[in-house]
Amino acid sequence: MRIGTGFDIHKHKSSSKLFVGTVEIEGPGFTGHSDGDIVVHALIDALLGTVALGDIGDFFPSEDKKWKDASGKDLLLIIKDCVYAAGLVIQNIDIIVVSNIVIISSIKDKIITSLAKLLDIPTSAISIKGKTTEGYGLLVNGEVSAAFATVLGNIK
pLDDT digits (tens, 9 = 90+) for 73-119: 999 999 999 999 999 999 999 999 999 888 999 999 999 999 999 99
pLDDT of residue 136: 65
Closest by CA position to 101, among listed 13, 40, 5: 13
pLDDT of residue 138: 62
pTM of this prediction exceeds 0.85? yes
Average pLDDT over the chain reads 91
Residue 61 has pLDDT above 70, yes or no: yes
CA 112 → CA 22, 42, 85, distances in Å?
Answer: 10, 15, 23
Which of 6-10, 64-68, 111-115 is predicted least confidently? 64-68
Tell me which H or E stretch contains 154: strand 144-155
pLDDT of residue 142: 63
Domains in the chain, please, with CATH?
2-155 (3.30.1330.50)
Residue 141 has pLDDT above 90, yes or no: no
